[in-house]
Amino acid sequence: MPKAGLRVGVAFGGRSVEHDVSILTGLQAVEALSERHLPVPIYIDRTGAWRAGSELRELSSYRDGASGAGQEVLLDIPRGRLLPSQERGGLLRRGRAEPIELDVVVLATHGTEGEDGCLQGALELAGLPYVGPTVGAAAAAMDKLLTKAVLSTAGLPVAEWMALRRESFERDPAGAAAAIEARFELPVYVKPATLGSSVGVSRCAAASDLADALTLCFELDRVCLVEPAIEGGVEVNCSVLGRPGVEPRASVCEQPIAGASGGAGAGFLSFEDKYMNGGKGGGPAAGAKAGGANPAAGGTPAAGAKAGGGANPAAGGTPAAGAKVGGGAGMQGAQRLIPAPIGAEQTAEVRRLACRAFEALGCAGVSRVDFLIDAEGAIHINECNTIPGSFSFYLWEPSGLPFADLMDELIDLAFAERSEKARTTRVFETSLLSERAAAGAGSKV
């Protein structure tokens, strides 16, 4: 367990379609950290500007979809601290504005620029320890195509797939739809390669659905992934804790319930199912509007409206004995059964595969590995989220790890990763420059 009283930066928000959800995850982490540490909320707004300050921990300050609380700051590379931005050249130099020092950073930034290696890269340059995988692993896990490549190479079970590029779709839209039909029987799932929270995901049951689904997908991403629908069974998720080189630990499994929101996404897990607590959820996530800046909630034309429904037999079913239906805010607010009522054997296999996927991708910190189980009981790894909603704390609590302890464990993992990095030599001493300088005439190389 790390010593108490650490200055823990908690980054959330960001230029991502998951901006709103990330605020919820971030504020949950700030609260859990407050028991033992000094969390510093760092809000990255929709333009990419950073703000810091304790006022940012108030959910009410995001009522209009963003917060102007706290002060604008810049990440100081390579010193690893935050500088009040307007003070940089003036007040700071004259000693009137204090830089904000950080010991470690917790990333609660879901999706683009926050979960895909970008922010991780900035923190590497800043020399700050941070929670989560390093740049390469974060990028691989965020990109569904790279994830498929890594997991299938490791011999792990994934659904079949094909990838389409925006440029080729724009050149020949009919050809793209025909290629999908030639490869797979419908229904298929069409999804952006690098998004999350079901944004832009469509289930296409008829050939006439494909054009809309692809158009939507390519508005949101450059690469689109198409998969046959894995249906008739259940979806289950399992969270994993660890870091490369150390045997990871799996949490209890959950079965999220599709269609519980009664919203547009009935039939598969929609944005509303995931975050909006039966469609009635409060907080920033509820502000996402169809057709608005955030295309998430119900705004996916092909997605909700044409979803076949009823694919998940557990939707609306009676929870198995002992399973709890969750409630609350953020990812934690979705309807789910914990533990997933899939039997001891399948549970053990899901947990084993979750650890192997975590390991194959080189994950660190806490991830959530999501699975699709078909009607025959075959298990497919769907994806790995390296910054899972609510840090999956609702899966760790019933696994015997309270949220505050989970945060401490994540901080420990961040420091361990930092130490491991420090063991790698970056210096390669040569006489190249002195020899060149001695031999060279004048200043030319």
Ligand X SMILES: Nc1ncnc2c1ncn2[C@@H]1O[C@H](COP(=O)(O)OP(=O)(O)O)[C@@H](O)[C@H]1O
Least Å from the CB of residue 147 to Mg ion:
11
Least Å from the CB of residue 311 to ligand X:
7
Minimum CB distance to ligand X smaller for 37 or for 203: 203
Least Å from the CB of residue 382 to ligand X:
5
Cβ neighbours of residue 152 closer than 8 Å, sequence gap 6 or more: 158
Among ligand X, Mg ion, none, partner that 409 touches (CB below 5 to 8 angstroms by kind): none
Q: Kindly state the tokens that stand for 17.
A: 């379609």
Side-chain-side CA neighbours of 18 within 13 Å: the count stands at 32
Residue 432: CB atoms within 10 A of its CB come to 9
Minimum CB distance to ligand X smaller for 32 or for 353: 353
Q: Kindly state the tokens that stand for 35.
A: 């028991």
Minimum CB distance to ligand X smaller for 198 or for 386: 198
Among ligand X, Mg ion, none, partner that 209 touches (CB below 5 to 8 angstroms by kind): none
Minimum CB distance to Mg ion smaller for 18 or for 370: 370
Among ligand X, Mg ion, none, partner that 379 touches (CB below 5 to 8 angstroms by kind): none
The burial class, CB within 10 Å (0-12 / 13-18 / 19+), for 22 is: buried
Cis ω for the linkage preceding 339 (within 30 of 0)? yes
Q: Kindly state the tokens that stand for 135.
A: 């740049």
Buried b (16+ CB within 10 A) or exposed e, 107-140: bbbbbbbbbbbbbbebbbebebbbbbbbbebbbb
Residue 426: CB atoms within 10 A of its CB come to 6
Among ligand X, Mg ion, none, partner that 229 touches (CB below 5 to 8 angstroms by kind): ligand X
Least Å from the CB of residue 206 to ligand X:
16
Least Å from the CB of residue 80 to ligand X:
31
Find residue 41's DSSP bridge partners. 10
By the criterion CB under 6 A, which residues form the site for ligand X? 159, 189, 191, 195-199, 201, 227, 229-231, 235, 258, 268-269, 370, 372, 382-383
Among Mg ion, ligand X, none, partner that 184 touches (CB below 5 to 8 angstroms by kind): none
Question: What angle do helix axes 144-153 and 135-142 make, rounded to 10 degrees?
Answer: 100
Among ligand X, Mg ion, none, partner that 83 touches (CB below 5 to 8 angstroms by kind): none
Minimum CB distance to ligand X smaller for 6 or for 199: 199
Least Å from the CB of residue 372 to ligand X:
5
Among Mg ion, ligand X, none, partner that 179 touches (CB below 5 to 8 angstroms by kind): none
Minimum CB distance to ligand X smaller for 21 or for 401: 21
By the criterion CB under 5 A, which residues form the site for Mg ion? 370
Give the integer Cα–Cα distance in Å for 130 and 120. 8
Cβ neighbours of residue 181 closer than 8 Å, sequence gap 6 or more: 207, 210
Minimum CB distance to Mg ion smaller for 39 or for 333: 333
Least Å from the CB of residue 189 to ligand X:
4
Residue 59: CB atoms within 10 A of its CB come to 15
- Contact indicator for 379, 346 with CB cutoff of 8 Å: yes
**Which residue sits closest to Mg ion, CB atoms considered?**
370
What Rg do the C-alpha atoms of the chain give, in angstroms? 23
Minimum CB distance to ligand X smaller for 227 or for 254: 227
Among ligand X, Mg ion, none, partner that 115 touches (CB below 5 to 8 angstroms by kind): none
Least Å from the CB of residue 40 to ligand X:
29
